[in-house]
Amino acid sequence: MFNNWEELEESIKNCSKCKLNSGRTNIVFGVGNKNADVMFIGEGPGADEDKEGIPFVGKAGQLMDKAFIGLKINRQNVYIANIVKCRPPQNRVPEKDEALACLDYLRNQVLLVNPKVIVLLGSTALKNILGEEHSITKERGIIINKKGIIYLPTWHPAALLRDENKKIEFWRDLKELKRVAEDLKLSI
Ligand code: URA
Ligand code: SF4
């Protein structure tokens, strides 16, 4: 574990712990407020993220940004990262060994940010953070308290592109996030 951001990022730039390293243009480390109360965790970089080195800048990210604007969530106030830091080929789901290899970095980011609330975007984030027994369809929108952190699973923004109903549920879940943040006087 690293106790500063620079060393952590540097170690990821040089990382070859899993086979995703061979396909990356840039690592996608994470972005936002390093002292955020609320952290968002996605799956892994797509083509646009790989090109820019920033999470959620492609179509799915733009949809998430729209929801943020609509609900007055400031992207600069939160911290956003992914399960894997390198782009999986053809945007496939990260394989178990890849997610496991990369998870230490995310844990390190969580330790450094020390968020009160973590929003888990989609099944990959939910299962890798809280365990394979969890189900996004059954648990989205439901708060899970674990070891002093409040987890809120919701749909991955890419799923909203295909399903209008999920868009409504995603907005509902972010409203729940706002409610929790207001209750706890968190900055979001
Ligand atoms: N999807 C993700 O899970 N993360 C990104 O950064 C972009 C798309
Ligand atoms: Fe390393 Fe993570 Fe990239 Fe794999 S995905 S090479 S573990 S930084």
Range of the domain at 54: 29-183
Task: Report yes or no on 110 lying in a domain.
Answer: yes
Which pLDDT score is estimated for 157? 98
Q: Which two tokens stand for residue 66?
A: 């729209």
Residue 130 belongs to a domain with what CATH number? Answer: 3.40.470.10
Structural domains of the chain, count: 1
Using alpha carbons, list the distances in angstroms from residue 62 to 33, 48, 93, 152, 161: 19, 11, 20, 21, 11
- Please indicate, yes or no, if residue 24 is contained in any of the structural domains: no
Is 7 inside any structural domain?
Answer: no
pLDDT digits (tens, 9 = 90+) for 55-110: 999 999 999 999 999 999 999 999 999 999 999 999 999 999 999 999 999 999 99
- Residue 137 CA: distances (Å) to CA of 29, 40, 67, 159: 28, 18, 20, 12
Q: What whole-number distance in Å separates Cα of residue 177 and Cα of residue 118?
A: 10
> What is the distance in A from the centroid of ligand 2 to the CA of 188?
29
Residue 5, domain member (yes or no): no
pLDDT on residue 139: 98
- Cα(181) to centroid(ligand 2), Å: 32
Q: Which atom of ligand 2 is nearest to the CA of 101?
A: 7
What ranges in the chain are assigned the alpha helix state H? 5-13, 47-52, 59-70, 96-113, 123-130, 136-139, 157-160, 164-183
Q: For 153, left (φ over 0), alpha (ψ -120 to 50), or beta?
A: beta
pLDDT range class, residue 2, cuts 50, 70, 90: very high
Pick the ligand that lies closest to the CA of residue 108: 2
Q: Quote the pLDDT of residue 132.
A: 98
Could you tell me if residue 15 is inside a domain? no
For residue 49, the model assigns a pLDDT of 98
Q: Is the beta carbon of 40 within 6 A of some atom in ligand 1?
A: no
Q: Give the per-residue pLDDT at 135.
A: 98
Read off the pLDDT of residues 149-181 as tens digits, 9 standing for 90 and up.
999 999 999 999 989 999 999 999 999 999 999
The verdict on residue 176 lying in a domain is yes
Give the pLDDT score at 131. 98
Q: Which pLDDT score, from 0 to 100, does residue 121 have?
A: 98
Would the CB of 30 count as within 6 Å of ligand 1? no
Does this model's pTM top 0.75? My answer is yes
Percent of the chain with pLDDT over 70: 100
**Is position 21 within any domain?**
no
User: How far apart are the CA of 182 and the centre of ligand 1, in A?
Assistant: 27
Residue 46 lies in a domain: yes
